[in-house]
């Protein structure tokens, strides 16, 4: 007998009729002979309404009480759904997060799951009941109610599927699958048949609101196949599965995403010495502020500049922390901008193809969009643009990669039920099937660092004075692509006034063997004295799952390198790794320092 976990989002349980329809879905699976666990979100917009209410009472509601309040939204839905199922003659029982034993840490409003007890769920399932669990909530070890962060019901569902070794987790929502980008913003976005965990992790954390990114961390760690589908349509949706199962030969870019609520912080005039970056980010990490798009570029005249983005909601809090930290490090100034948006393209195929960056930059140039910042990883390229241009930029990029067109040779032919079956056998993650508390120590959502790596095959090119206007990055990377050179890390940071014109610093890494050719091509394009090259750099990487959402990883890496007296010249990061560039001479020492810091 298979166990299936289903999750219904807010819109899918927004009315009594929709709750009855959800009940029907659960009963269908039950009648097929499966054991069914259903996770539900709060009805419609009730979480937003509760937050509003709290803010009418006080502008800064205390986090513990906010969690107490918000958890009531899901409690309403579970009771109603259990009633609806029972009224159709099937036994069912509802539970809150604490009743089912979802134990979290104590970070109110963004708590992480430590462990989940399976006893109560199992005995209810064995009694033939459909088990209904409130999403998004848990309890800490002092019995305080906690919540997992907005959109967290997805994470509850996938975590339950993991501990109970479910054959699949069905996510029922208001869209019929995962699209190449948000179909509300780009009408000709196309539904994907499959997407890999890594791609979905990036998409989710780069703004694709269809899945809570932490739920994908669970899915990847514990091998849970996820089926995202429409709550009121019978059609097959999108399977989120491992790389092999998801492989679409030839597709370089899988999707594009827009994160609209970003804010940028730039710290200028930082003394260029080891430990500075660590000093800047330490406290942000301690306060669990998720920092994204960290960009540090090559220092100029002994001073470095670090730019990063945070959630717009975290800006004020972050600025008060960063202002202090920057002053302590001797920085010249801290600037911020809340009118920015991040546009990204994601695809596992990027690892082996070049020319993706130039295609993206040319599309943006043709749409008249100025790129404020660039950062890349192995499977994504992100740019920061003015928020007013965000949607146009997303559309331009989506069109440039022809994401609306079904690639002819890539149609997914297998029958979805078969996928589920093959994946059942694969679902042998590191989860115990015993009735015991699963993952008691260490916590289920703890960071997993799988490896650290040193790559000494790269050179770094730095363009010192790139005019800050549309089309510049496109020109540069066209010249590089036309020379047949593959680009790895790209970092472009914020502009700076040089004379009367604004300029940016653009750095990127390429294979060392191509350095001379690249310098020639760029000198021809930009004139003499505009290109600096370091023919041998060391690229140090830390790899794992949950790198971005676990705010301490970057700081741990920076701390280890600082302690080894190693200066960082470039940083970029993704969901699954952080890369830093440093001079070649420090590669080995850096690698050892990282191995020690991460117990590898
Ligand atoms: P739920 O309440 O069911 O959790 P959400 O609103 O959280 O639903 O997520 C579904 C929404 O996510 C869709 O209506 C869609 O607008 C948005 N979305 C953003 N990016 C994507 C994408 N790449 N594919 C599908 N939907 C997306
Ligand atoms: N109700 C919560 C929210 O609106 C959790 C969820 O829907 O996933 O964020
Ligand atoms: Mg959601």
250-280 pLDDT per residue, tens: 578 999 999 999 999 999 998 888 888 888 8
Is any ligand 2 atom within 6 A of the Cβ of residue 47?
yes
pLDDT at 130 over 90: yes
What residue owns the CA closest to ligand 1's atom 4?
9
The answer to whether 557 touches 543, Cβ cutoff 8 Å, is no
Mean per-residue pLDDT, 397-404: 94
| Residue keyed to tokens 């600037």 | 335
- d(CA 306, CA 270) in angstroms, rounded, equals 8
Please report which confidence band the pLDDT of residue 427 belongs to, taking 50, 70 and 90 as the band edges: very low
How far apart are alpha carbons 361 and 369 in whole angstroms? Answer: 9
Contact yes or no for 360/366 (Cβ under 8 A) = no
pLDDT per residue as tens digits for the range 528-559? 888 999 999 999 999 988 887 777 888 889 88
Tokens of residue 566, six digits: 């190693």
Q: CB of 136 closer than 6 A to ligand 2?
A: yes
Of residues 269, 267, 331, 328, the one with CA closest to residue 300: 269
The reply to whether ligand 2 has any atom less than 6 angstroms from the CB of 97 is no
DSSP code of residue 300: B
User: Among 256, 267, 325, 330, which Cα is nearest to 295's?
Assistant: 267
Strands 255-271 and 226-230: unpaired
CA 131 to chain centre: 30
Ligand 2, atom nearest to 156 Cα: 8
The conformation of residue 191, written as its DSSP 8-state character, comes to: B
The mean-pLDDT minimum among 125-134, 193-202, 218-227, 237-246 falls in: 237-246
Out of 275-284, 293-302, 585-594, which region has the weakest mean confidence (pLDDT)?
293-302
Mean pLDDT taken over the chain: 88
Measured from the Cα of 181, ligand 1's closest atom is 23
pLDDT of 234: 87
Report how far apart, in Å, the C-alpha atoms of 40 and of each of 70, 101, 352, 491, 492 are.
14, 16, 40, 41, 42
CA of 152 to the centre of ligand 2 (A): 6
CA distances from 241 to 218, 351, 588 (A): 12, 19, 36
Which one has a higher pLDDT value, 174 or 375?
A: 174
Q: What is the value of pTM for the model shown? A: 0.87
Taking CA atoms only, the protein residue closest to ligand 1 atom 10 is 210
Residues 6+ apart with CB under 8 A from 57: none
Query: Which residue has the least CA distance to atom 5 on ligand 1?
Result: 210
Residues with beta carbon < 5 A to ion ligand 3? 9, 151
- Alpha-carbon distance of 294 to 82, in angstroms, equals 45
Give the residue, out of 42, 160, 214, with the most ligand 2 atoms within 8 A of its beta carbon, to mutate for a pocket test: 42
Q: Round to whole Å and give the CA distance between 327 and 333.
A: 8
Q: Of 3, 6, 416, 431, whose CA–CA distance to 245 is shortest? A: 416
**What would the pLDDT profile of 115-126 be if each residue is shown by its tens digit?**
999 999 999 999
Asked if 16 contacts 181 with a C-beta cutoff of 8 angstroms, the reply is: no
| Mutation choice for ligand 1 from 15, 135, 174, CB with most ligand atoms inside 8 A | 174
Ligand nearest to the CA of 210: 1
pLDDT score at 89:
97
HSE-CB of 365 using CA atoms within 13 angstroms: 17
Cα(195) to centroid(ligand 3), Å = 18
Looking at residue 407, what is its pLDDT? Answer: 66
Q: What is the DSSP letter of 13?
A: G
Residue bearing tokens 């596992």: 348
In this structure, of 344-358, 381-395, 443-457, the range with the lowest mean pLDDT score is: 344-358
Tokens coding 497 = 């006034």
Q: What percent of the chain has pLDDT over 90?
A: 66
Q: What tens digit of pLDDT does each residue of 463-474 get?
A: 977 888 888 889
* Cα 8 to ligand 2 centroid, rounded to whole Å: 10
- Residues 25 and 10: their CA atoms lie apart, in Å, by 16
Higher pLDDT, 441 or 96: 96
Tell me how far apart the alpha carbons of residues 355 and 360 are, in angstroms, rounded to a whole number. 9
Residue range 70-98: average pLDDT? 98
Give nearest CA residue, ligand 2 atom 9.
150
List the residue whose alpha carbon is closest to atom 1 of ligand 1: 9
Asked if pLDDT for residue 233 goes beyond 60, the answer is yes
Q: Which residues line ligand 1 (CB under 6 A)?
A: 9-12, 41, 151, 173-175, 178-179, 181-184, 208-210, 255
Nearest Cα to 336, choosing from 359, 362, 310, 375?
A: 310
Helix, strand, or coil here: 12? Answer: helix
Ligand 1 pocket: which of 173, 176, 178 to mutate (most atoms within 8 A of CB): 173
Cα 381 off chain centre by: 13
> For 178-195, how does the pLDDT look when each residue is reduced to its tens digit (9 = 90+)?
999 999 999 999 999 999
471: cis peptide before it, omega within 30°? no
Looking at the predicted structure, is the pLDDT value of residue 520 above 70? yes
Residue 298 has pLDDT above 80, yes or no: no
């Amino acid at each position: 007998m298979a166990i299936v976990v289903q999750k219904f989002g807010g819109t899918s349980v927004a009315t009594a009729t929709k709750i009855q329809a959800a009940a029907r879905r659960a009963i269908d699976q039950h009648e097929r002979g499966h054991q069914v666990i259903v996770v539900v979100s709060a009805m419609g917009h009730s979480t937003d309404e509760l937050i509003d209410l709290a803010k009418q009472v006080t502008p800064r509601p205390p986090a513990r009480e906010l969690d107490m309040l918000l958890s009531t939204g899901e409690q309403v839905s579970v009771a109603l759904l259990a009633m609806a199922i029972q009224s159709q003659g099937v036994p069912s029982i509802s539970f809150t997060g604490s009743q089912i034993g979802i134990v979290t840490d104590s970070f109110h409003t963004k708590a992480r799951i430590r462990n989940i007890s399976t006893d109560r769920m199992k005995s209810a399932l064995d009694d033939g009941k459909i088990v209904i669990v409130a999403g998004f909530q848990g309890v800490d070890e002092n019995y305080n109610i906690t919540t997992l962060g907005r959109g967290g019901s997805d994470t509850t569902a996938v975590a339950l599927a993991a501990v109970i070794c479910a054959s699949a987790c069905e996510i029922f929502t208001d869209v019929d699958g995962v699209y190449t980008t948000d179909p509300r913003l780009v009408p000709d976005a196309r539904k994907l048949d499959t997407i890999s965990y890594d791609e979905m992790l990036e998409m989710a954390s780069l703004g694709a609101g269809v899945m809570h990114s932490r739920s994908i961390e669970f899915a990847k760690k514990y091998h849970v196949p996820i089926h995202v589908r429409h709550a009121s349509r019978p059609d097959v949706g999108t399977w989120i599965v491992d790389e092999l199962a998801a492989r679409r030969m030839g597709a370089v870019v899988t999707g594009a995403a827009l994160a609209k609520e970003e804010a940028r912080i730039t710290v200028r005039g930082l003394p260029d010495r080891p430990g500075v970056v660590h000093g800047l980010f330490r406290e942000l990490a301690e306060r669990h502020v998720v920092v994204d798009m960290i960009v540090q570029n090559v220092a100029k005249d002994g001073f470095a500049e670090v730019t990063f983005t945070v959630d717009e909601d975290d800006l004020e809090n972050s600025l008060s922390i960063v202002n202090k930290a920057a002053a302590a490090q001797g920085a010249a100034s801290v600037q911020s901008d809340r009118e920015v948006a991040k546009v990204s393209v994601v695809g596992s195929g990027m690892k082996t193809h070049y020319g993706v960056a130039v295609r993206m930059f040319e599309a943006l140039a043709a749409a008249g969009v100025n790129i404020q910042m660039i950062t890349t990883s192995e499977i994504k390229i992100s740019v920061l643009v003015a928020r007013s241009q965000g949607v146009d930029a997303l559309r331009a990029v989506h069109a440039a990669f022809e994401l609306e067109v079904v690639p002819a040779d890539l149609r997914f032919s297998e029958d979805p039920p078969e996928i589920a079956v093959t994946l059942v056998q694969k679902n042998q993650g590191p989860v115990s099937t015993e009735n015991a508390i699963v993952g008691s120590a260490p916590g289920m959502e703890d960071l997993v660092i799988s490896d650290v790596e040193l790559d000494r095959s790269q050179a770094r090119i730095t363009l010192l004075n790139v005019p800050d206007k549309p089309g510049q990055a496109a020109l540069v990377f066209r010249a590089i692509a036309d020379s047949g050179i593959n680009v790895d890390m790209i970092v472009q940071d914020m502009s700076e006034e040089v004379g009367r014109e604004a300029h940016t610093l653009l750095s990127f890494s390429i294979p060392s063997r191509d350095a001379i050719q690249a310098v020639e091509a760029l000198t021809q394009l930009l004139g003499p004295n505009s290109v600096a090259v370091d023919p041998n750099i060391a690229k140090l990487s830390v790899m794992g799952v949950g790198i971005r959402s676990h705010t301490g990883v970057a700081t741990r890496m920076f701390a280890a390198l600082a302690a080894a007296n190693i200066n960082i010249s470039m940083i970029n990061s993704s969901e699954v790794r952080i890369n830093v560039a440093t001079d070649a001479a420090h590669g080995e020492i850096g690698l050892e320092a990282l191995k020690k810091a991460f117990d590898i």
